[in-house]
Amino acid sequence: METSFSLVYGSDAMIPVEIHESSPRFISFVTEESNEERRVNLDLLDKAREEARIKTEAVNRRVEHQYRSKVKPRQFRVADLVMQKAHPYELENKLSPKWIGPFRVTEAKGNGSYKLETLEGGPIPRSWNAANLKFYFS
């Protein structure tokens, strides 16, 4: 496993404590061997960086796949009745309703963003993400 430092600079870092306390790594240091080893490491550095990039991409894809498998896509149309998730400051105690509404969808702005209005026709001042909305069934 490569460290971020070794991927950037081509070698492992040596912390000041290792130098002052005469660690085995510091005591066994030989300049000629170190220079040769450094050249070999620099030749292999591009390969190590590419492997790290591939592993990072694979991890990112697995995380994205897991996230997408748990997300429930919600699509609302204009005139649908919805409930919106209550903010923590709107909750008086643990028995307070977690959803408030109903509200009417007035505009679908794309990317899961919706403009709402009250049932009396009063506009809600900001857009709401579909993750904070759910259908209202009367």
Q: What residues contact residue 78 under an 8 Å CB cut-off, 6+ apart?
A: 105, 106, 107, 108
Please state whether the predicted TM-score (pTM) of the whole model is above 0.85. Answer: no
- 10-residue averages of pLDDT along the chain (138 residues): 75 69 70 77 83 93 90 84 88 87 90 90 88 88
- Give me the domains of the chain, ranges plus CATH numbers: 4-70 (no CATH), 81-135 (2.30.30.140)
Q: Give me the pLDDT at residue 60, please.
A: 96
Q: Give me the pLDDT at residue 25, please.
A: 66
> 78-102 as b/e, with b when 16 or more CB fall inside 10 Å?
eebebbbeeeeeeeeeeeeeeeebb
Strand partners, 71: none
